[in-house]
Amino acid sequence: MAEPWIRLEGLRVVAGDGADARVLVDGAGLALAPGEVLALVGASGSGKTQTVRACLGLVQARPGVVAGALEVHDGARTWRPYQGEPAVRRAAWRALRGRVLGWLPQEARASLDPLRRIGAQVREVLELRRRDGLPLAADRRDAADWLAVAGLPEPGRVAGLYPHELSGGMAQRACLALALARGSRFLLADEPTTGLDPTVQRALLDQLGALRGEGCGLLLVTHDLGVVARLADAILVMDGGAVVERLAGGSLHQATSAPARALVQATLRQGEARP
């Protein structure tokens, strides 16, 4: 069976139409393979979030996504969810979301069902996984097993909690458990460490890094260059809706584009300002 992959080319996202139209993303592209961490970095408003959301079909098509080709290969079949009639595109997104493409949002607690316990939500995605015929390891058959995989202490207790009873870090890990339990081959994460204290950030990043060894690909949107240095195999720098530079992981100091150098300098100044 061929390896899965994601390939995005020529993405153009436009808000509004006519004289009020505003280009949010202009010609962006990326490629992601299993076991790879690709970081998408840039200043606020550079188009990072719109790009990653477009890879999940969370940006409205026409208007919204007005151009671009997305291909997702799940190991057996290649999906092109921006092609075809609306019904064909909707079917493609339904097949891809969760089973192939997992989502780790910035506001994790808001993405959880507030009326259901965490364990019940994990069990629901496990049932979807079983319906798809995706295998389960003997030690990962229950909700608590997947909460433990996501790094949550006392997973049995956490399974009985409601989202409002979780801290920010716990909520992020619960979302991670949902994506992993569903069987997602790729995780698309939008600023997953925002608002978390440094200790919780490190623990979550360690968990995300460990997924690389299990063959999970990670597309990581972040403005935190410390996260990039720690995790990324490759870096895309965005500015004004376009990808302006591509770098190998750990080579941001070699950046030549003005936006990338500005990010590095801002990070250095921020570090100097800390007590």
Amino acid identity of residue 171, one-letter, is A
Instruction: Give strand pairing partners of 14.
Output: 23, 64
What's the mean pLDDT in 34-63? Answer: 90
Helix (H, G, I), strand (E, B) or coil at 39: strand
59: CB partners within 8 A, 6+ apart: 13, 50, 53, 65
Q: For the segment 39-48, what is each residue's pLDDT rounded down to a tens digit?
A: 999 988 899 9
Q: In this structure, what are the phi and psi dihedrals at residue 66, rounded to the nearest 5 degrees?
A: -105, -10
Instruction: Tell me: pLDDT of 28 over 80.
Output: yes
Neighbouring CB atoms inside 10 A of 77's CB total 11
Work out the pLDDT band at 202, boundaries 50, 70, 90: confident
Q: At what angle do helices 118-131 and 168-182 cross, to 10 degrees?
A: 20
Q: Which residue has the higher pLDDT, 58 or 61?
A: 58
pLDDT at 2: 64
Rounded to the nearest 5 degrees, what angle is found at the Cα of 191, between the Cα atoms of 203 and 39?
A: 90
Do the bridges between strand 234-239 and strand 37-41 make them parallel or antiparallel, or are there none, so unpaired?
parallel
Instruction: Tell me: pLDDT of 165 over 90.
Output: yes
Work out the pLDDT band at 158, boundaries 50, 70, 90: very high
Instruction: Tell me: pLDDT of 120 over 90.
Output: yes
pLDDT at 217: 94
The percent of residues above 70 in pLDDT, for the chain, comes to: 96
What's the mean pLDDT in 187-214? Answer: 84
pLDDT at 52: 94
Work out the pLDDT band at 118, boundaries 50, 70, 90: very high
pLDDT at 272: 47
pLDDT at 275: 46
What's the mean pLDDT in 247-265? Answer: 87
Instruction: Tell me: pLDDT of 205 over 70.
Output: yes
Instruction: Tell me: pLDDT of 221 over 70.
Output: yes
Q: Which residue has the higher pLDDT, 105 or 30?
A: 30
Helix (H, G, I), strand (E, B) or coil at 240: coil
pLDDT at 269: 65
